Amino acid sequence: MSDEMATYWFNYLYERGLIHEVLREEGIIAPLEKDGDKKTASEKRGEKNE
């Protein structure tokens, strides 16, 4: 993949908040906690991590 295409896809995912979600799930950045809720976004959607 070219650098230009990689940059396009990174920006596309970043603008939609998907990069943040992955980084939170991987423990790279702190998860958002509201009212004591510590579930990840995928857990809230009912997805299971395997």
- Residues 15-42, mean pLDDT to the nearest whole number: 75
Q: What does pTM read for this prediction?
A: 0.42
Residue pair 17/32 in contact (Cβ under 8 Å)? The answer is no
Angstrom distance (rounded) from CA 35 to CA 50: 27
What is the helix (H) or strand (E) element at residue 15, kind and residue range? helix 3-15
pLDDT number for residue 5: 96
Give the separation between CA 43 and CA 32, rounded to whole angstroms. Answer: 13
